[in-house]
Amino acid sequence: MPSPYRALFAEPGTKSFSAAGFLGRMPLSMMGIGVVTMVSQLTGRYGLAGALSATIALSAAVIGPQISRLVDRHGQRRVLRPATLVALTAAAGLLLAAHFEWPDWVLFVCAAGIGSVPSLGAMIRARWAALYRGTQKLHTAYSFESVVDEACFIFGPIISIGLCTAWFPEAGPLLAACFLAAGVFWLTAQRATEPEPHPREHHGGGSALRSAPLQVLVLTFVATGTIFGSVDVVTVAFADERGHKGAASVVLALYAAGSCLAGAVFGLMRFAGAPERRWLLGVAATAVSMIPLLLVGNLPLLAVALFVSGLSIAPTMITTMSLIEEHVPRAKLTEGMTWVSTGLAVGVALGSSAAGWVIDAAGARAGYGVPAVSGAVAVTVGFLGFRRLRRPAAGRGGTVEHHSEREERHLA
């Protein structure tokens, strides 16, 4: 491991909460695809399977920010454990309902309940921010967490699908639930690194989404999430049309691998310029990288194009988290980070639906028009909101002293 990453773990407790975060984040990439695989195997109804997966994603998009807001107010331990128990109960109900062929409405109620799963990525980043706020190490920490995110999306679907098909249909979602329980309860047992709650600051302040810069970031990431959701669906259809549906998982893994590699390298770099400019450049690069997908005609070229496209994802996400840390008050940091995940989740649901409609109407290759258009929308929103990102917010980073520290280091 390069020395900047090794230096992250010099502080006591960092290895433990990072490992717990990795374990607890695996369900993010395992549950949805596991439910699709499980339901399609048990019932043969792909429409129902996709609708249940979308229900989980949209429910998490609605409930997630509210859970994170409570975390900022009351602390991670007091909120995450009850929320996780609700999600685990709902997951158990979904598995039983699917296995015993209960009515569809029971499946949807349980799927909505799974949406109460906490955003572990935001919880871990909040812990890093509490440790390294105002230092270069925070950039490295956010880079490391983006690499962890991509690792989850490389291995999670493979594990979930593999268990559902090789063992029994419910195995993938069941293991995802076990990962969630172990990760959350391990994380919340670590009190020393838990960020201090801010009950007084949070009362009367309203939602973190009132922040104009955060609104720009969330809207942009709705469009970005549409890219991700549509690319996944279109790639599966593209591979299926060419008689190699199984190869889609390898192609999509390369997409995530490109992001993982870029995130690791990005964390080793040091930047002096304004982060909002790097953010806008990353959004533009993501959008432009969608254009070659419209031109590819075979799977090897598609794999190369997606790998290159992935190179812009993690750096853009890392810079986004840095902007949130700068513009959102410290008392609402976890909620602010979760709102970006919410934007992505909404976008993924929109992208999956739009891509499916285009594929049915015009074929898989035409489906890549959806991420191309979504990229254009993301860039447009980014450009229109750029000035808002450049305006220093009151209480930026949580304290005025944090500003002074940064300015003094800059002047020095």
pLDDT in tens, 212-248: 888 888 899 899 988 987 887 788 778 878 887 667 7
Res. 391: pLDDT tops 70: no
Res. 169: pLDDT tops 90: no
pLDDT grade, residue 46 (50/70/90)? Answer: low
Tokens of 118: 């906490």
Q: Which of 75-79, 91-95, 376-380 has the lowest mean pLDDT?
A: 75-79
Residue bearing the bigger pLDDT, 158 or 22: 22
- Using a 10 angstrom Cβ sphere, with 0-12 exposed, 13-18 middle and 19 or more buried, the burial of residue 2 is exposed
Tokens of 266: 């990005």
Tell me the CATH architecture of domain 13-196.
Up-down Bundle (1.20)
> 3-class secondary structure for the chain?
CCHHHHHHCCCCCHHHHHHHHHHHHHHHHHHHHHHHHHHHHHHCCHHHHHHHHHHHHHHHHHHHHHHHHHHHHHCHHHHHHHHHHHHHHHHHHHHHHHHCCCCHHHHHHHHHHHCCCCCHHHHHHHHHHHHHCCCHHHHHHHHHHHHHHHHHHHHHHHHHHHHHHHCCCCHHHHHHHHHHHHHHHHHHCCCCCCCCCCHHHHCCCCCHHHCHHHHHHHHHHHHHHHHHHHHHHHHHHHHHHCCCCCHHHHHHHHHHHHHHHHHHHHCCCCCCCCHHHHHHHHHHHHHHCCHHHHCCCCHHHHHHHHHHHHCCHHHHHHHHHHHHHHHCCHHHHHHHHHHHHHHHHHHHHHHHHHHHHHHHHHCHHHHCHHHHHHHHHHHHHHHHCHHHHHCCCCCHHHCHHHHHHHHHHHHC
Answer for the pair 335, 211: CB distance below 8 angstroms, yes or no: no
Res. 179: pLDDT tops 90: yes
Cα distance between residue 246 and residue 236, in whole Å: 8
What pLDDT does 206 receive? 65
Mean residue pLDDT across the chain: 82
Q: Please give the average per-residue pLDDT across 10-35, as a whole number.
A: 88
pTM: 0.75
* Sequence ranges of the domains in the chain: 13-196, 206-412
**Predicted confidence (pLDDT) per residue in 339-372, tens digit:** 887 888 788 778 877 887 888 788 888 889 999 9
Residue bearing the bigger pLDDT, 57 or 400: 57
What pLDDT does 201 receive? 52
Tokens of 247: 């190869």
Residue type, position 135, single letter: T
Query: Which one, of 329, 332, 396, 341, lies nearest residue 72 by Cα?
Result: 332
Res. 200: pLDDT tops 80: no
Tokens of 249: 């998982």
Residue % of the chain over a pLDDT of 70 = 90
Domain 206-412 top-level CATH class:
mainly alpha
Distance between start and end Cα atoms, the chain:
31
Residue 260 vs residues 22, 24, 153, 176, 303: alpha-carbon distances, Å: 14, 19, 10, 22, 15
Domain 13-196 matches domain 206-412 at the CATH topology level: yes
What pLDDT does 286 receive? 93
pLDDT grade, residue 133 (50/70/90)? Answer: confident
pLDDT grade, residue 93 (50/70/90)? Answer: very high
